[in-house]
């Protein structure tokens, strides 16, 4: 019959070996995980920047289009006015009211990053 070795003696022998082998492995896994998390965070930040840039370009295009369309619809100096009131009677049939877009300087300047 083989000699019986108590489990705590096996633990005393295996623990230092496991520490030597597993510590670098766990360290590598944690280091890789942190690196991946930082890359994902950086990619998300860049995607957000691109979305903000795109939104600013679209807003600028809409303001430019609004200004261009307003230039063509302004009455001449000799045209009869309705007492300065822009009512329903002044509109051409089929024309709809569009909201006015205001361009503000530094709209996002106070936002912390």
pLDDT tens column, 4-49: 778 878 888 888 888 899 999 999 999 999 999 999 999 999 999 9
| Cα 23 to Cα 29: distance, rounded to the nearest angstrom | 10
CB 89 within 8 A of CB 82: yes
Q: Which helix (H) or strand (E) holds 41?
A: helix 7-73
Contacting residues for 89 by C-beta, under 8 A, at least 6 apart: 82
pTM for this predicted structure: 0.45
């Amino acid at each position: 019959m083989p000699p019986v070795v108590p489990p705590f003696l096996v633990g005393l022998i295996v623990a230092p070996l496991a520490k030597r082998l597993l510590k670098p492995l766990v360290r590598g896994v944690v280091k890789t995980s942190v690196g991946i998390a930082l890359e994902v965070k950086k990619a998300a930040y860049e995607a957000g920047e691109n979305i903000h840039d795109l939104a600013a370009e679209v807003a600028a295009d809409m303001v430019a289009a609004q200004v261009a369309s307003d230039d063509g619809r302004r009455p001449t100096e000799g045209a009869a006015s309705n007492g300065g009131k822009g009512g329903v009677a002044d509109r051409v049939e089929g024309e709809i009211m569009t909201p006015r877009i205001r361009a503000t300087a530094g709209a996002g300047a106070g936002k912390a990053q």
